[in-house]
């Protein structure tokens, strides 16, 4: 006998309640929220790590510089978000504090995986505690530590994986197809930046605008969070239009 519609709906009213087929529906709703968020891409390159995000400026009255999708956690760690950005800021602020506490306590830089595990632990806590809701955001966390350049992705389920290249957000399927074909482990940060901007230019078509692009990288030598200047993006776009 099939359950009635009102019986089915009951399983998404509490985060701690599993449906009969073993699903936490509120977590699945949070993952759908991420799918509706703007696109962010991360690449591990031969000379560092790169994050590129689409700021998706939908109102021409918005000042593009006020929209932030790529965040500095510490000078050697950065993150890009897709989904509910207010949720992302809570996680980023927590990570920034943890990184500074680690530096003060141990007089050394925190490693990337420790930041990822702390964020994932908080995300997991919200999937098992009544009165809470899951974080509706996925993060790409990129950094350079003693293990070299690293890239992790963590989603609302609190699962995390290490990637060579990863994408989150609304155009993840299209961008992932490009990465599967064109990503190479020996590509430089400049190569990766050109690849992602070219991909965004193709996917967004008439809606593409330089103001939509936010990018930052951390080089392997002298790891330091560095934002990509607008002039660099403009030059790449100009070269694309010539082809």
Strand order in the sheet with 77-83: 70-74, 77-83, 137-145, 148-154, 160-162
Is residue 22 assigned to a domain?
no
Query: Residue 95, SS3?
Result: helix
Instruction: Count structural domains, the chain.
Output: 1
- pTM (2 decimals)? 0.92
Residue 1 confidence (pLDDT): 47
Q: Is residue 214 part of a domain?
A: yes
Does any domain span residue 131?
yes
Per-residue confidence of the chain (243 residues) as pLDDT tens digits? 455 454 556 777 788 888 888 888 899 999 999 999 999 999 999 999 999 999 988 888 999 889 999 999 999 999 999 999 999 999 999 999 999 999 999 999 999 999 999 999 999 999 888 888 999 999 999 999 999 999 999 999 999 999 999 999 999 999 999 999 999 999 999 999 999 999 999 999 888 989 999 999 999 999 999 999 999 999 999 988 876
Model pLDDT, residue 124: 94
Enclosing domain of residue 77: 38-57+67-242
Cβ-contact 80, 71 below 8 angstroms: yes
**And the tokens for 20?**
């009969």
Residue 30 inside a domain? The answer is no
Give the CATH number of the domain where residue 109 resides. 3.60.20.10
Q: What per-residue confidence (pLDDT) applies to 4?
A: 47
Helix H or strand E encompassing 241: helix 230-242
């Amino acid at each position: 006998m099939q359950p009635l519609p009102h019986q089915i709906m009951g399983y998404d009213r509490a985060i701690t309640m599993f449906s009969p087929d073993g699903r936490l529906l509120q977590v699945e709703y949070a993952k759908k929220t991420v799918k509706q968020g703007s696109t962010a891409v991360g690449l591990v390159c031969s000379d560092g790590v790169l994050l590129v995000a689409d700021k998706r400026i939908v109102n021409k009255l918005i000042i593009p510089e006020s929209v932030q999708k790529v965040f500095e956690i510490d000078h050697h760690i950065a993150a890009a978000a897709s989904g509910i950005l207010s949720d992302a800021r809570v996680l980023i602020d927590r990570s920034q504090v943890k990184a500074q506490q680690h530096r003060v306590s141990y007089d050394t830089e925190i490693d990337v995986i420790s930041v990822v595990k702390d964020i994932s632990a908080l995300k997991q806590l919200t999937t098992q505690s009544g009165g809470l809701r899951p974080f509706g955001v996925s993060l790409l966390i990129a950094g350079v530590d003693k293990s070299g350049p690293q890239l992790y992705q963590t989603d609302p389920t609190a699962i995390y994986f290490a990637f060579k290249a990863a994408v989150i957000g609304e155009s993840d399927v299209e961008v992932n197809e490009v990465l599967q074909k064109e990503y190479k482990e020996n590509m430089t940060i400049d190569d990766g930046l050109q690849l992602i901007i070219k991909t965004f230019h193709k996917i967004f078509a008439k809606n593409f605008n330089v103001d939509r692009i936010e990018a930052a990288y951390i080089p392997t030598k002298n790891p330091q969070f560095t934002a990509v200047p607008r002039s660099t993006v403009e030059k790449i776009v100009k070269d694309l239009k010539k082809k």
